[in-house]
Amino acid sequence: MLKVNENGVIVRSEALDTGSTDADIKNAVRSGEIVIAARGRYVPAAGLPEVRWKREQEIYRRRCLCEAAEGAVLTHQSAAAILGLAMLNPDLRRIHVGVTRGSSGKVRATRHIHCGLDMDDVVVVDGVAVTSLERTAVDVALVSDFAGALAVFDSALRLGATHESLEAAIDGRRRRGSVRVRQALRHADGGAANPGESWSRAQMIQNGLPAAVLQREVEVEGVLYYSDFEWDGLVIGEFDGEGKYLNNRRPGETIAQAVIREKNRENALKDMGFDLVRWDWPVLTSHGVADRVIPHLRRAGLY
């Protein structure tokens, strides 16, 4: 049995010290029992999220906890992972730490050291020192494109930040890219449930589509549902992300049964007069959301 530390990580040196061998580790990787998190660090596969982006960020979070155990203040993507901020296609190759001294940072293979950290921006979460929710969201937004900035701001609002507190954090940074970041903040909405929905909205915004209401409550045959996007009670948009059916399964329900239930819901919504449009990750990654939605808005006289 490979030793798992308090952060949910198997460290090679610790495993070898407790009697395991490199062959044991290789066999566990080959069988899928553990996954590689970084050089000499592994994470048990059991209990990891099924949705790909959540799985990747959870593995990264555990790597960050190992660094935090060394007394580092985590920043940027690393702080976001600890705080639970959802990110869109984040670069998770390096652990980000902050220091108060120095005038220039250092980028290494596995670590990015940021200088000029203000300790007033540091909070402690479950014993781990990280930059605050607002500072972290702004730092991530500043190194992201418009869609990435929108996604992290949407997530920050879901976690309790406000537009005002995020605006103040931007004022405190005054770095290149702040115009793009402020634009993203103006459109941020905590109703977006995940980075895919945020990216969908970013494409709608950049193509001039009318704003949708997010997570609008709709009663279908006595059951309450929440639509991802809704326009004027006429058009409903649904993003079919990886977790659409994984996350919405009822106890004991298979994915196939969840898909059938969702199809029945779709038919009921159409019977109520809604025009329903759906898209998935391939449409999203090919920047095709606007082209998918526009014909439905035109039919409804909304575009």
For residue 10, pLDDT over 90 is answered with: yes
Work out the angle at residue 194's Cα, subtended by the Cα atoms of residues 188 and 196, and round it to the nearest 5 degrees: 90
Which tens digits make up the pLDDT trace of 74-92?
999 999 999 999 999 999 9
| CATH architecture assignment, domain 207-299 | 3-Layer(aba) Sandwich (3.40)
Confidence of residue 243 (pLDDT cuts 50, 70, 90): low
- Rounded Cα–Cα distance for residues 303 and 296 (Å): 9
Can you list the alpha helix ranges (DSSP code H) found in 18-85? 22-31, 52-68, 76-83
Question: Model pTM?
Answer: 0.89
When mean pLDDT is compared across 184-193, 208-217, 266-275, the lowest value belongs to 266-275
- Rounded Cα–Cα distance for residues 107 and 94 (Å): 9
Q: What is the pLDDT of residue 165?
A: 98
Domain with CATH 3.40.960 in the chain: 207-299
